[in-house]
């Protein structure tokens, strides 16, 4: 199976490195500066369980000449439009595109460009970050990529999904196929917006927020809003998933923060519109009140204007 990984950051780079280490035919589509660094140092994974390096096969925009069997699209939502055009030569009639973005707005973009048949839903769960040296720092052993066809009977698994699952699992990646991948994407969206709102609004780690007077009430209140939007959209969050989210965002002393928070405190642009703007717009359309999520959206929009001027 010919695999193209779009992006070599903390998420796509990690999955791609696992696949390459397992001997799969993997190519990374990256920007010229990232390509130069990877050619010099290799693609390194450091942190838990030691350090290892793969020598990646690389291409840059304009160098793609033929279709791939599988495209793992791992970019920030702010770079989605450019990435879609860059990767277009790699998407043929039999290509499966699996996006690893959070939220749902990217599905509409990809469907419009490549057709819904080419696009699968995807939910990535890893605990990694890109350090100052450009290495992927693994903070926990999690490597989870749930995916599936957008429109198949509940519980059905297509032949191409089964083949992709075998390849991913052969590389040590947990690759379940949900009965409804769009519902799984909604549930991840609820988690990431709850996590992002709690830490970004209060400008602190989960533990710093929880340990402050009044802090324990914030996580459950934000989660209730996000889960209400999902339920109104037809994707209610099961109680066990709500409990798992609360365990993350309501943990005393926890140092955890999402990547959105790290971008915020570093003065970098965030994915505010893709994650929060889209969710609050859907909430308004569905008649769901989301005052805390609206406040988080405004807070991030002010930051966005300050950092980008737009």
Closest CA to 188 of 140, 248, 112: 248
Mean per-residue pLDDT for 281-306? Answer: 98
Of the listed ranges 104-113, 130-139, 173-182, 193-202, the least confidently predicted one is 130-139
| Per-residue confidence (pLDDT) for residue 174, from 0 to 100 | 96
146 sits in which H/E element? strand 136-149
- The predicted-structure confidence for 198-215, as pLDDT tens digits, reads as follows 999 999 999 999 999 999
Greatest alpha-carbon span in the chain: 58
| 264: pLDDT strictly greater than 80 | yes
Question: From the DSSP assignment, how many helices (H) and strands (E) are in the chain?
Answer: 13, 9
| Per-residue confidence (pLDDT) for residue 179, from 0 to 100 | 92
- The answer, as to whether pTM is greater than 0.85, is yes
- The predicted-structure confidence for 78-93, as pLDDT tens digits, reads as follows 999 999 999 999 999 9
The two three-digit tokens of residue 212, written as one number: 């402050």
Cα–Cα distance measured from residue 173 to residue 288, given in angstroms and rounded to the nearest whole number: 37
| 58: pLDDT strictly greater than 90 | yes
Reported confidence tier of residue 139, pLDDT bands at 50, 70, 90 = confident
- Taking phi over 0 as left and psi of -120 to 50 as alpha, with beta for the rest, 37 belongs to alpha
Torsion of CA 135, 34, 259, 287, to 10 degrees: -150
| Per-residue confidence (pLDDT) for residue 221, from 0 to 100 | 98
The β-bridge relationship of strands 96-99 and 52-54 is unpaired
For CA atoms 241, 194, 169, 83, give the dihedral sign. positive
Mean per-residue pLDDT for 13-37? Answer: 95
- More confident call, 131 vs 4: 4
Contact 283, 249 (CB under 8 A): no
162 sits in which H/E element? helix 159-170
Collapse the DSSP code of 260 into the 3-class scheme (helix H, G, I; strand E, B; otherwise coil) and give the result.
Answer: helix
């Amino acid at each position: 199976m010919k695999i193209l990984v779009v992006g070599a950051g903390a998420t796509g780079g990690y999955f791609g490195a696992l696949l390459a280490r397992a001997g799969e035919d993997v190519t990374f589509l990256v920007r010229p500066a990232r390509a130069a660094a990877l050619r010099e140092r290799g693609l390194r994974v450091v942190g838990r369980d030691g350090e290892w390096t793969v020598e990646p096969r690389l291409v840059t925009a304009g160098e793609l000449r033929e279709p791939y069997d599988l495209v793992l699209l791992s970019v920030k939502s702010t770079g989605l439009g450019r990435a879609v055009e860059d990767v277009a030569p790699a998407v043929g009639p039999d290509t499966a595109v699996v996006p690893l973005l959070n939220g749902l707005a990217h599905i509409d973009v990809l469907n419009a460009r490549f057709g819904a048949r080419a696009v699968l839903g995807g939910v990535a769960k890893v605990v990694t970050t890109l350090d100052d040296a450009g290495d992927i720092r693994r903070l926990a052993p999690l490597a989870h990529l749930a995916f599936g066809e957008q429109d198949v009977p509940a519980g059905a698994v297509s032949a191409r999904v089964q083949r992709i699952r075998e390849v991913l699992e052969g590389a040590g990646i947990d690759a379940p196929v949900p009965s409804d991948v769009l519902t799984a994407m909604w549930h991840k969206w609820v988690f990431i917006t709850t996590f992002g709102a709690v830490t970004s609004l209060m400008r602190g780690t989960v533990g710093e927020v929880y340990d402050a007077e009044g802090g324990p009430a914030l996580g459950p209140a934000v989660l209730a809003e996000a889960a209400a939007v999902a339920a109104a959209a037809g994707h209610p969050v099961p109680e066990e998933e709500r409990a798992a989210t609360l365990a993350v965002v309501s943990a005393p002393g926890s140092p955890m923060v999402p990547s959105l928070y790290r971008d915020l405190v570093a003065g970098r642009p965030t994915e505010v519109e893709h994650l929060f703007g889209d969710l609050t717009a859907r909430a308004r359309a569905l008649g769901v009140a989301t005052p805390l999520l609206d406040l988080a959206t405004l807070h991030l929009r002010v930051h966005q204007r300050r950092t980008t001027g737009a």
